[in-house]
């Protein structure tokens, strides 16, 4: 393997560490430029034997798991927020006779004090 690939592997590993820290910190807005740079670093490794890239592959998979967890967390938060908003607008229930009824939240009233 050419000597320059060792340097490219080190650069990619450092880049993946930076990507991991960005994911862990939740700074998702910083991911787009990191992805573009990672693609360039990967292109420089074309033709590198797979055995030499095992550590890179491991780190990339860990970052993929972090990203997937972040996506699932955002999805869960979005669902929960929707439930909260929907609950604040009222909900459907059943009365003692089994008829569906809408239960609306009480409207806040303005209380004047002397």
- Euclidean distance between CA atoms 17 and 39, whole angstroms: 15
pTM of the predicted structure, to 2 decimals:
0.68
- Euclidean distance between CA atoms 74 and 71, whole angstroms: 5
pLDDT score for 73: 94
Top pLDDT among 60 and 106 is at 60
pLDDT band at 1 (very low <50, low <70, confident <90, very high): very low
- Euclidean distance between CA atoms 59 and 17, whole angstroms: 8
- pLDDT tens-digit series, residues 30-87: 999 999 999 999 888 888 888 888 999 999 999 999 999 999 999 999 999 998 888 7
């Amino acid at each position: 393997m050419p000597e320059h690939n060792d340097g490219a592997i080190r650069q990619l590993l450092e880049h993946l560490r930076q990507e991991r820290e960005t994911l862990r910190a939740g700074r998702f807005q910083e991911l787009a430029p990191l992805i573009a740079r990672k693609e360039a670093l990967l292109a420089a490794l074309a033709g590198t034997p797979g055995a030499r890239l095992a550590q890179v592959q491991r780190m990339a998979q860990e970052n993929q798991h972090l990203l997937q967890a972040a996506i699932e967390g955002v999805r869960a938060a979005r669902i929960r927020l929707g439930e909260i908003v929907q609950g604040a607008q009222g909900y459907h229930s059943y009365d003692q006779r089994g008829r569906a009824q809408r239960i609306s939240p009480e409207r806040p009233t303005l209380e004047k004090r002397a």
